[in-house]
Chains A and B, each alone.
With several copies, the nearest count.
Chain A
Amino acid sequence: MAIIIDENTKAVVQGITGYQGSFHTERMLSYGTKIVAGVTPGKAGMEVHGVPVFNTVRDAVEETNANASVIFVPAAFAADAVFEAVDAGIKTVVCITEGIPVHDELKMYWKVKDNDVTLIGPNCPGIISPNKSHLGIMPPQIFMEGNVGIVSRSGTLTYQIAYNLTKLGIGQSTVLGIGGDRIIGSDFIDILEKFEKDKETDLVVLIGEIGGTDEEKAAEFIKDMSKPVVGYIAGITAPPGKRMGHAGAIIEGRMGTAESKIKALNEVGVEVGKTPMEVAEIVKRVLKA
């Protein structure tokens, strides 16, 4: 199983002829991901790493029956790209693009919501179901197939923790970054719901950071989950009012502190590791128990 993407995922790359799009298409293909089409307006007929390019997502879907999309277009065109994918019938959209205006992100959110589409991101590293499919910009070699799901607001921190797990011989069912922006398509709960239902996942690692109240809301949900969750929260030392890289990583007033999130998670029985290494060790211990 795994969640959201697997060996049946057939993806379109939107913005395939750009530098990022082309570079990561090659990487995804070499991992074995089924990239069946690319889209760049005006470039129909081209091929990028053997993948046929179409003018519109609609054309791409008609020709290839693609069911997912990865978006690499520049920020100014990203919302349009998401809308296009949704209206072409794509059911899983992974938006890598960062720097999208937040009012555009609000529209993206409601567009996918209205159409029962899963949007991962924007401003995210993507998603990988090890040995099955990889849609995004992650370093696939550090992951290993297994029974731990990882959902994270951060990219490199996810890699670090997955790497630690892999080193301990603990594989992953699906690993994904939900994105560092304030408005994202899928939040922790959306993903936790899927992991809870996934037969291949026995434990979930939740990697949060300061800003917003998603981790607190996730804790509410975790209370009723049957599977154990292990947490990590970055930003204990972040000062209020300053954005820590991610648009969403900001403490506003008394909202969004690491303390509040760790407390909420602890209260529903989630052990929160103090360091990425400790997270992996907790996972190991919990899995054994």
Chain B
Amino acid sequence: MKLHEYQAKQIFAQNGIKIPKGKLAKSVEEVETIVKEFGKAVLKSQVLVGGRGKAGGIKLVNSVDEAVEKAKELFGKEIKGHLVEKIYVEEQLDIDREMYVGFTLDRANKGIAAIVSSVGGMNIEEIAAKHPDKIARKTINPKWGLWDYQVRELLYESNMPKEYFKEVFGIIKKLYNVMIKYEAELTEINPLIVTKDGEVIAADARLNVDDNALYRHKDLAELKDYTEVDQLERIAEQKGLNYVKLDGNIGVIANGAGMSMATMDLIYLENGKPANFLDIGGGASAELVKEAMSIILQDKNVKVIFINIFGGITRCDQVAEGLIKALSEMEVGIPIVLRLAGTNEEEGRNMIKEFLKQTKEEIALVETMEEGAKKAVELGCKNGDNN
């Protein structure tokens, strides 16, 4: 789960990291009130996407009138597909220098990656490419946590100017505490700025926490901004389904993440385009199959549905039963390609064959997933354009 900048900053501040003065606004009026108080300000769109600035989501305003004008522009604007509904209004800072401090999960080394740079303001890949001598990276072993010598090494190796050593030292340790305390997957201050007055302040804030750990952090769980999640994906999540919307026209239902991806890939190999990823998981109940169908049918681009089940523990007869139940309760109206293999596949296929005698829905029973993909693409082309 990604936190908004204003949420992350609040947490940073609670953990001793200096942040600029700022207030959240949900309307133009609120922006106006805040800018009246601040004088000059920065309006920052609160959207959960990188590169807001370049995409026009951040505006410097030097008067209340300008603030109102820019706020009107920003509210309702779409930034990289994310709607601006909240603006974080911050004081303007006299920036002398930009730096970077971040922690992220280090998959390869099974630890926490600490990254420090004495330059900042651009994304970390860009820093690494442009200023390899000003960036330092280190894996923190979760057994021992972050020790002072590691912080010193990060500072020296990133060629951090001596005058900021003490301040940045403290910020690195505090940000690591945030990483651990909130069980984050990533937390980042970019840029960490030095003002003309020599203050070191977190000008931006990122904090992505682990969904699996949210049960231990009820306060964080409450911060989740559901407006940021695609509505269908949100509904799917609530039903216990893994659904990711894509832009093709062949709906995919499969069991298992790898199987679902492989199904998408097969469609692509046949020159079709999958409309989604949808994993119904291991124990596909009748109810779950129905939910999966109903989610896919809400995507109006979908012209055909390919259901690809490999029965392991899941028995194919149970999947067939679920599908029949679903089709009895809802009208699908587009063709379904069905592959049932594995445990009790014969029973399952026979049930479907029986059902086909009494339904007007179109179900193409196929033998293999490769064949199914081919069939689905064929039907997709017939039913609509397939670009």
Question: Contact partner of A102 among B150, B183, B244, B368, CB < 8 A?
Answer: B183
Whether A58 lies near B258 (C-beta < 8 A) is no
Minimal beta-carbon separation of A84 from chain B (angstroms): 4
Q: Tell me if B162 and A42 are in contact (CB < 8 A).
A: yes
Q: Which of B112, B165, B313 contacts A139 (CB 8 A)?
A: B313
Among A100, A209, A275, the one with the most B-chain Cβ atoms within 10 Å of its Cβ is A275
Chain A residues near B310 (CB, 8 Å)? Answer: 156, 159-160, 163
The interface residues of chain A lying within 8 Å CB-to-CB of B244 are 239, 242-244
- Tell me, yes or no, whether A46 is within 8 Å of chain B by CB: no
| Cβ–Cβ contact B274 & A137, under 8 A | no
Contacts across chains A and B counted by CB atoms under 8 Å: 191
Task: Classify chain B: how many residues form its interface, as a range.
Answer: 35 or more
**Which residues of chain A from 109 to 144 have a CB within 8 Å of any chain B CB?**
109-111, 114, 125, 137-139, 141-142
Judge whether A182 is part of the interface by a CB distance below 8 angstroms: yes
A197-228 near B? 1/0 per residue, CB < 8 Å: 00000000001011011000100000000000
Contact A102 B258 (CB under 8 A): no
Please tell me if the beta carbons of B149 and A155 are within 8 angstroms of each other in the complex. Answer: no
A209 touches B258 (CB 8 A): yes
Q: Mark B141-162, 1 if CB is under 8 A from A, else 0.
A: 1111001111011001000001
Partner of B255, one of A42, A156, A212, A247: A156
Q: Are B144 and A111 in contact (CB under 8 A)?
A: yes
Tell which of B215, B257, B261, B311 touches A76, judged by Cβ atoms closer than 8 Å.
Answer: B215
- Per-residue A-contact encoding for B259-281, CB less than 8 Å = 1, 0 else: 11110111111000010010100
The answer to whether A157 touches B282 (Cβ under 8 A) is: no
Which residues does chain A contribute within 8 Å of B210, judged by CB atoms? Answer: 101-103
Report Cα–Cα, A42/B144, bound state, in Å.
25
Interface size on A, residues (CB 8 A): 74
Q: How far is the CB of B288 from the nearest CB of chain A, in Å?
A: 14
Q: Are A159 and B342 in contact (CB under 8 A)?
A: yes
- A160 engages B265 (CB within 8 Å): no
Verify A212–B108 contact, CB threshold 8 A: yes
A-B contacts, 30 listed (Cβ < 8 Å): A57-B149, A80-B149, A102-B183, A103-B142, A110-B143, A137-B282, A139-B312, A139-B313, A142-B343, A154-B257, A154-B259, A156-B254, A156-B256, A156-B258, A158-B258, A180-B257, A182-B107, A183-B107, A236-B264, A244-B257, A244-B261, A244-B277, A245-B242, A245-B258, A245-B260, A246-B257, A246-B258, A247-B212, A248-B107, A277-B370
What residues make up the interface of B, taking CB atoms closer than 8 Å to A? Answer: 105, 107-108, 110-112, 125, 141-144, 147-150, 152-153, 156, 162, 165, 180, 183, 185, 210, 212-213, 215-216, 242, 244, 246, 254-262, 264-269, 274, 277, 279, 282, 310-313, 341-343, 368-370
